[in-house]
Each structure stands twice: as structure tokens, then as C-alpha cells.
Amino acid sequence: MNKIKKILSMELRYSEPVYAEIARKVCKKYGKEYTRETHMKEMGLSVDESCQVVVQALQLPITPEEYRLQLESDCEYERRLAEAPLMPGVERLVRHLFNHHIPTAIASSATRTIFDSVSSKRKDFFSLFHPIILAGEEPEVKKCKPAPDTFLVCEARFQTKAEPKETLVFEDSVAGVEAAVAAGMPVIMVPSKDIDIALCGKATLVLNSLQDFRPEEFGLPSF
């Protein structure tokens, strides 16, 4: 294993359950059930792609854009995203890396609206990340996850230069793991409870929680 010099991170809050609940509500209006399998198909994709997946998979009588607008117009959506807690172990790890001058970035498929909602109440914490890449707003990202573009564009924005193999990715989706592998980056997967562990085989390491992460195993300063 190469010594890690930089960290690329997925979204760090428990926002998926909030999204899934709102999605179930929208789909129910049309007599459709938003299932675990449907959720799995769209996790990690761009917002536009995930909306297209849901509309096609459930044969909703609306366009992907209309589906997206209904999600984002739900009066509870932004508030609950803002209140979603950080994953256990995240803040300890990020502050540890920051204190040891290990550059840490966020490379996300979230829209600006969603990201701002998620980060609004923890601006001090999210200020520790640079750069922050939102794939849907980056012209250089031609294809979102599972393509490697999001991670490669983020990698190029770091002030500290390193090889992809020296950049460690944390992910929670299968599409994100595939994107990291395609970018030539080692990837640690912290899967949500909805993900079948059998789908995690491409990850360098699978953890139940970031509390279990041992930085020294990747050449990083130990806690």
C-alpha cells in the first residue's frame, strides 16, 4: 500500500435516509413503491441521473425533472437534510487529518442546494475541506459516478500534488467505489445498511464505521 498523501471524501452525514423517505412519499402519490432495490440503483449517481433511474424503474407518469422538483419542493426536505447528523467517527478523523496537514476534499454528486442545506449548520467543520467539488456544477466532469471524472477533477484541484494511488477515497455507494477504482485510487467503503455486502468487493477495505479506521495502516499519522 502506498503512503497516502491526500483524502477524498464522500458526503459525511446521514442524508440518505432523509432522501429515501421523501422519495417514498413522492412515489406513493402515483401508486408506486420506492424500494430498497430502487434506492440501491441510484445511490452515488448525479441528481439528474438518479431521478431518471427512479422514473424509469418505477414507470412514474412524470418526467425526471418533475420528479426532482417534487423532491426539492417538499417542505421538510431541506430542514431535515440540515439536521442530519454526522456519521460516527467523521469529525474526529477530519480534524485529525487537518491537524496533521493532510489535505482533505469533498467530491460529491449533490446539487448546490442540497450541499448548502447539509453544510449550513456546520460551516466550521466543512471549512476544513478544500477543494469541494459538486459534480453537477463542474463543466470538467463530463460523466458522474461511476465514471472517474468527479475524483480526477477533484484530484487536480488540490494544491498538494500526488499520484492517484496516493489519494485515499472514502465512499458509501457502489457507484462511488467503482469511480474511485476507475480513477486508480484506493477506496474505503463505509456502506449504508441498505447495501448488500456482496456488492462491496471492489473496495480496498470495507468498514462498518469510520470509528474503526486506523490511519497508520495507510501511512497516515495514528490517532
6 membership: H or E segment, kind and range: strand 6-9
More confident residue, 181 or 6: 181
CA distance 156 to 93: 23
218-223 long-range Cβ contacts below 8 angstroms, 24+ apart:
218/1, 218/3, 218/4, 218/168, 218/186, 219/1, 219/2, 219/3, 219/4, 220/4, 220/97, 220/100, 220/102, 221/96, 221/100, 221/102, 223/92, 223/96
Work out whether the CA dihedral 44, 47, 53, 54 comes out positive or negative: positive
CA distance 64 to 53: 8
* pLDDT(126) > 60: yes
Q: How many Cβ atoms sit within 10 Å of the Cβ of residue 37?
A: 10
Mean pLDDT, the chain, integer: 88
- When pLDDT is averaged across residues 50-59 and rounded to a whole number, the result is 95
Cα 178 to its chain centre, rounded Å, is: 12
CA distance 97 to 90: 11
CA distance 179 to 175: 6
What pLDDT, in 10s, does the model give residues 1-54? 677 887 877 656 666 777 888 899 999 999 999 998 898 888 778 888 899 999
Is the pTM for the entire model greater than 0.95? no
* pLDDT(84) > 90: no
pLDDT in the model for residue 1:
65
**Binning pLDDT at 50, 70 and 90, where does residue 183 land?**
very high
7 membership: H or E segment, kind and range: strand 6-9
24-33, 67-76, 153-162, 168-177 — which is least confidently predicted?
Answer: 67-76
**Binning pLDDT at 50, 70 and 90, where does residue 115 land?**
confident
pLDDT in the model for residue 104:
95
Percent of the chain with pLDDT over 70: 95
Work out whether the CA dihedral 11, 14, 20, 22 comes out positive or negative: negative
User: Going along 64-160, which residue ranges are E strands?
Assistant: 104-108, 132-134
CA distance 69 to 67: 5
* Coil vs helix vs strand at 195: coil
**Binning pLDDT at 50, 70 and 90, where does residue 191 land?**
confident
What pLDDT, in 10s, does the model give residues 207-221? 989 999 999 999 999
